Structure 1
Amino acid sequence: MLLLAPQLCAADITIWYSHQSESFIEGLVSRFEQETATRVSLVQFEPEKIKAEIILGAQYGGVPDLIFVPSDFLGLYRQMQLEPIPEQWLSTELAQDARETALVDGSYWGVPIIQGNHLMLFYNKQYVANPATSWKSIRTSVTQFQQLHLMPVGWNYSDMYYLVPFLSAFNGRPIYGDLISLNTPAMVQALNFYHQLAQDNVVDGNCDYNCSQKLFIKGETAYAINGDWAYQDLKRELGDNLGVTLLPTVEGKVMHPMKSTFVFAIPEKSRDGSNKKEHIRHFLKFVQRKDNQEWVYQSHRLLPVDQKLFNQVVKQATGDELVILKQLQLAEQMPSLTAMAIAWQAMKKGYLRFKDGLSAEEAAAYMQQLAFTQQQRLQN
């Protein structure tokens, strides 16, 4: 159900966000409120729901002042009716690759705040002494984990963000340039491999994000695939029992997760006076400031987009930080293009058909046809 901005009218700024680390965004906003006495209201959405809510809000009214979303959302700036960001609002210290994630069709549509957003393999040291480097190794341990009443691995199985690293291991990508590429041998191989992991009880195919994270924290799975955003929460819960390593190889081939930035973007709406715009501008300047970027990393281990600070993080990294950065190096940048947004939707619907009985070949063809149809619709 769509949440309407009038419910939050007492605030100077209203923000919708989808980041999994609730404490990160709440802490950042609290720092801003304390420094400026500006009132901010936050509404958190499940990641798979916020895109539809923003588009519906743009069409029928009820959008907030700011949204905090992955940078690939910016490819839908027309559908979301976003306002372009003045270039002078972007920090001069912003890393160039992070800046480019906000640039679509010659305009900036968001302000990057953190980077990474990439998947890794976490493990519980109570059950795993030497973490697996391949899926073959994890498969051979299934019986051992079952004897301990453990599921080997958990992740948000039906989220296509978790399928893409498997696709990459078979030399596939959802898009090449601005061309969607889903009906490929790589997609067929990835779907079959992914499905077989669930069939062989390596992973629970019915477990979503909340389910998989809770089971890992409770010590009911040995491994978990999750993002850098979850590291601090998992560390707080598991302490020294938490381990982090690279995603396992698939038949000897490296998995490449996607990476992106998280950005603040401005939905187009009638502003109630000039103060509103000033509040937004001050907030965006605040969250880009080096001391706040540093607080985000020190408190939540979310990678900064300030280039000098990021260089400092790389130089001083040890232990788990080195693993997080090494996995980042193996990640592929998620394009901020309309084609990427279409590909996500098409993959999801095609995967559901595959789960309901279509062959992998039929599902891949269905994905491609859906993507083509949606592209044609948007162009007309």
Structure 2
Amino acid sequence: MRNLFIFISIFLFSSVALSAEKVTLHFWHSYAAGGFYKELSENFTKQHPNIKIITTNYPTDDLKSTIVLSMFKNEAPDMVLFPSDLLGYYKVLKLGEVPAHWFNNNTESAAIQATGKGNELFGIPLYQGNHLMLYYNKSLVDTPATTWLEMANQVTMLEQKGVKPLAMRVNKMYWFISFLNAYNGFSLVNDEVVINELAMKKALKAYKFLLDKKLTEKSCDFDCTNERFFSGEFAYSFNGIWSYRDGKKRLGDNFAIAALPTIDGLPLKSMRSTTVLAFPNNSLHSEKAQAIFTFSNYLQSEKVQRHFYQKNGQIPVDANLVKTLQLQGSENQKIVLKLLENTFAMPTSAAMSAVWPGMALGVELYLAGELTADKTVIFIQKKIEHELYKIKQLEGVTH
């Protein structure tokens, strides 16, 4: 009897000690307002004192290379937040397959489907969109241009007001691909990039039209599409959902949204992506799995989903909240959701990571007049093939 009492005492003591054991989770992201996730993590720890979240913020352009390097150094974080197309690196990052019960029941099925290949799901969707739209300042433009030619015809009028026409990041391929999509210029087949040569030439010429007509500046950067537009230097900003909240705050009732202007009678089609929480180095199957599960549930909760939208203007993946926005949102909010319908979903393939650098240098050389459209297409095709080769080599090294 005494031995039984000792055994029970030891068992209870061990259980209490285990429940009190503190777990530290490392969480990486690239959200510009780094304090947002730090605040969320601190609020989570107040509710779960035994789980500490250390957040690390990397520049968007550096996150992919940093996370890949961390795998080689065995220093990968427990969780990382990134666009769903990076899930295509699931082999390199050793992303564990997410169990079905980890997904919130209210999450839109389309958002869940965007997190994997076939029946394998490698991330948890937290918010969606990331699409490009046309913002404009109503104090400078009465009626927004519906075609690029129409905007070109507004240049003189805007210059007379001392205003530049369009803020746009010409050097970023996320913008160029909207033109390419208008002509159905590329597709992925079995993780290989297929370029429609005629469509690529048309997209290149349409893109160069913007510079030839002095609609925008080749050197336009993030500050250009945001701060300089908000301060009234530009009438339009070809920009993303990520700047919606700042636009409303800075321009107030003069901030408005329109569909992207058409080209050759065809609508431009921005890419869209889902931002997901992923788990490198099979962390969701590690001894920290329960703590990771608890934090992922917290980020999927209605309260946090609502916070994503109210604080940052990010479109939630909670189906009930999306319906509320569709019914009760402002005119601008409804336009944002409507424009999301005319977008291309970002494929969950590592091949997409070959597209961006594969196109960038070729487009730059074409805009500088150093390559013809014909030679640019050939250059881009070869560059994409080279980038795909590097990705496959990387996958071979990590397995």
TM-score using structure 1 length: 0.89
Between the aligned partners of 1:39 and 1:234, the Cα distance in structure 2 is 34
Q: What is the SS of the residue equivalent to 1:149?
A: coil
User: Counterpart in 1 of 2:14?
Assistant: none
* Equivalent of 1:142 in 155, 158, 170: 155
Per mean C-alpha deviation after superposition, the further-off stretch among 317-326 and 171-180 is 171-180
* Equivalent of 1:268 in 281, 286, 303: 281
For residues 83 and 128 of structure 1, do their structure 2 counterparts lie closer, same or farther at Cα, with a shift above 3 Å needed?
A: same
User: Counterpart in 2 of 1:6?
Assistant: none
User: Counterpart in 2 of 1:362?
Assistant: 375
TM-score using structure 2 length: 0.85
Report deviation, 1:292: 1.9
Between the aligned partners of 1:369 and 1:237, the Cα distance in structure 2 is 44
**1:98 and 2:111 are equivalent in the alignment:** yes
**1:282 and 2:290 are equivalent in the alignment:** no
Amino acid at match of 1:144: M
Amino acid at match of 1:309: L
User: Counterpart in 1 of 2:18?
Assistant: none
Between the aligned partners of 2:283 and 2:336, the Cα distance in structure 1 is 42
Q: What is the SS of the residue equivalent to 2:257?
A: strand
For residues 360 and 26 of structure 1, do their structure 2 counterparts lie closer, same or farther at Cα, with a shift above 3 Å needed?
A: farther
Amino acid at match of 2:56: V
User: Counterpart in 2 of 1:212?
Assistant: 225
Point out where structure 2 has 5 or more consecutive residues left out of the alignment. Answer: 1-21
* Equivalent of 1:291 in 265, 286, 303: 303
* Equivalent of 1:312 in 324, 334, 344: 324
Alignment of 1:298-377 (within 5 A): 298-356=310-368, 357-376=370-389
Between the aligned partners of 2:350 and 2:362, the Cα distance in structure 1 is 18
**1:234 and 2:247 are equivalent in the alignment:** yes
Report deviation, 1:105: 5.3
Deviations 1:266-316 (A, max 9, x none): 121789x83x33322211011111222123223333111122332232232
* Equivalent of 1:85 in 98, 108, 111: 98
User: Counterpart in 1 of 2:269?
Assistant: 256
Residues 24, 300 of structure 1: 8 Å contact kept:
no
Point out where structure 1 has 5 or more consecutive residues left out of the alignment. Answer: 1-9
Residues 152, 215 of structure 2: 8 Å contact kept:
yes
Between the aligned partners of 1:289 and 1:192, the Cα distance in structure 2 is 46
Report deviation, 1:224: 0.5
Report deviation, 1:206: 0.9
Report deviation, 1:376: 4.5
Across the aligned residues of Structure 1 and Structure 2, the Cα RMSD in angstroms comes to: 2.5
Report deviation, 1:189: 1.3
Between the aligned partners of 2:190 and 2:349, the Cα distance in structure 1 is 9
Percentage of identical aligned residues:
30
**1:223 and 2:236 are equivalent in the alignment:** yes
**1:244 and 2:257 are equivalent in the alignment:** yes
